[in-house]
Amino acid sequence: MTVRRIRTAAAAAILTGVAACSAPGNGTGGGEAADSVVIGVASEPDTLSPLLGYGKDGNSKIFDGLLARDASLKLRPALAKALPEVTADGLTYTYTLRDGVKFSDGKPLSSADVVFTYDTILDAKTNNTNRSELDAIKDVRAAGDDKVVFTLKYPYAPFAGRTVLPIVPEHVAGKQDPNTGSFNTKPVGTGPYLLASWSKGEKLTFKANPNYWGGAPKVKKVTMAIIEDDDVRATRLRSGDLDGAILPPNLAATFKNDKAKKTYDAKTYDFRTVTLPQENKVTGDRAIRQALDAAVDRQAMVDKILDGAGRPAYGPLPVDDPWFAKGIERKQDLTKARRVLDEAGWKSGEGGIRAKDGQRASFTLLYPSGDKVRQDHALAYASDAKKAGIEVKVESATWEVIEPRMKTDAVLAGFGSSGDPDYGLYTLLHSSLAGDGFNNMARYDDPVVDKALDTGRHSSDTTARKAAYDSLQRELVKNPGYTFLTHIDHVYVLADRWEGLTTQVEPHEHGFASGPWWNLEAWQPKK
């Protein structure tokens, strides 16, 4: 979850949807037809418009980007014929469009559509808080009907990965206000599926695009059932009402002896963390933040909450990421936590809770209602904090309640972007984005981190970038603005009726565009 992506990107799982009480399909859930599938997900997007952020990291079933990623996350051509031609100075990227691509309304794709898409997103009047991710773009122009040229302000090493962003038709979206137009709920794209219907809070139904440039999908109908509660998703999957669902590891494990279903595990960059707002009188104290970092037992959370389906998080990057700073791994150290608080003047008081200058070491931690995994993380965190003399009062709430309180209250949040470290770290940590929607929720402000983020973004030298991100991660240990807890594996259970299913290494967002259905258009019914 970086920026406001939890609202606008591919059905980010941090949001809570409204549980569907009726059957999501029309009696076909549970495997009667190999050409249809009903999938249970935790939430729905606010919009289906890429102009407002939907599908920006790729894998949208309605749209395509210039490029896409394969199962190993390697970039491959999509709407472009080939990977871009890049000038030696790294400032110009030229894409040639694939021949014969049409939007679902029959109109041909052209370079003007690409220019319109990027120009609209970059327009400050468009309510897309992912705009900073395209900061490197100085200009985008059409060179004839089939070529698009991007000129950058500075060499931006991971720029090609940004062009998985979906392309929209100017002839439709260009006639509307991007913030309020009907395109947000009635999209037209080039992708393998078309939106057939959307019952807010209940389900989205998609049908195969018979004229898809990549070939008509074999799965003809897809229903995404919005089911907020983990237990309800598992129950409906077990009853045959769903063909597949994303589930917490403990619930997925209950299907291990079901021979009609198959479990898919996906490694991820998705981490759970506690935001520690610097404007809060307690969490704004660096000693409190350092003590909490030392007090937390990350491995116990992996073992007990995730049933081993995850890893301790020592920062925003997982330990097996090539950019991870070796040596920052750390175990629970309550002795250190207590010493840090003692030295900072936080003395033990009534009920074992510390106080300083009349201020109790007590704060509220919010988590989204219905998310059992976050609830368990929050309770375990509170238990660990109490051992150091810090009181954490855990509360559940909807995101509508949580959002206006993020400035001063801690939140059990989820973030993580796959690919280049700039993709997730800049929006999570840079002070210029503090409080910008769901960007930098902790309002973290550290000049060492800002400098490292700027170096990582503006440099094309791998060694310099590696050193910058290394220094950033070590500074986060010294001055934590978040308590990083766990990196979570995503677990999916699906009726074993198709072939060609795989998973990718996934970002925080999952559900609509990730999981085994990231390549839904390539599935084949089992013979």
For 178-197, the pLDDT digits (tens) are 999 999 999 999 999 999 99
Residues (pLDDT < 70) of the chain are 1-33, 510-512
Distance CA 465, CA 458 (A): 9
Instruction: Say if residues 506 and 477 touch (Cβ distance below 8 Å).
Output: no
Q: Which of 271, 73, 52 is nearest to 165 (CA)?
A: 52
Q: Which of 48, 84, 77 is nearest to 63 (CA)?
A: 48
Q: Which amino acid is at 305?
A: I
Instruction: Say if residues 233 and 242 touch (Cβ distance below 8 Å).
Output: yes
Alpha carbon 469 to chain centroid, angstroms: 20
Instruction: Give the pLDDT of residue 436.
Output: 86
Q: Give φ, ψ of 57 to 5 degrees.
A: -95, 10
Q: Which of 374, 354, 367, 349 is nearest to 291 (CA)?
A: 354
Instruction: Say if residues 520 and 349 touch (Cβ distance below 8 Å).
Output: no
| Domains of the chain, earliest start first | 5-190+489-525 (3.90.76.10), 271-488 (3.10.105.10)
pLDDT by residue (tens digit) across 463-514?
Answer: 999 999 999 999 999 999 999 999 999 999 999 999 999 999 888 876 667 8
Instruction: Give the pLDDT of residue 527.
Output: 81
Instruction: Give the pLDDT of residue 250.
Output: 87
Instruction: Give the pLDDT of residue 30.
Output: 45
* Rounded CA Rg of the chain: 23
The secondary structure element, H or E, covering residue 362 is: strand 362-368
Distance CA 524, CA 216 (A): 12
Pairing label, strands 410-415, 271-275: antiparallel
Instruction: Say if residues 364 and 395 touch (Cβ distance below 8 Å).
Output: yes
Distance CA 268, CA 266 (A): 6
Residues 6+ apart with CB under 8 A from 373: 230, 248, 272, 305, 306, 488
The secondary structure element, H or E, covering residue 382 is: helix 372-387
Instruction: Give the pLDDT of residue 460.
Output: 87
Alpha carbon 327 to chain centroid, angstroms: 26
For 272-302, letters b (16+ CB in 10 Å) and e give bbbbbbbebebbbbbbbbbbbbbbbbbeebb
Separation in Å, CA 440 to CA 45, 88, 193, 347, 433: 21, 34, 34, 31, 6
For 397-429, letters b (16+ CB in 10 Å) and e give bebeebbeebebbbbbbbbbbbbbbbbbbbbbb
Q: What is this structure's pTM?
A: 0.85
Q: Give φ, ψ of 339 to 5 degrees.
A: -65, -45
Instruction: Give the pLDDT of residue 17.
Output: 30
Token pair for 260 = 């009609």
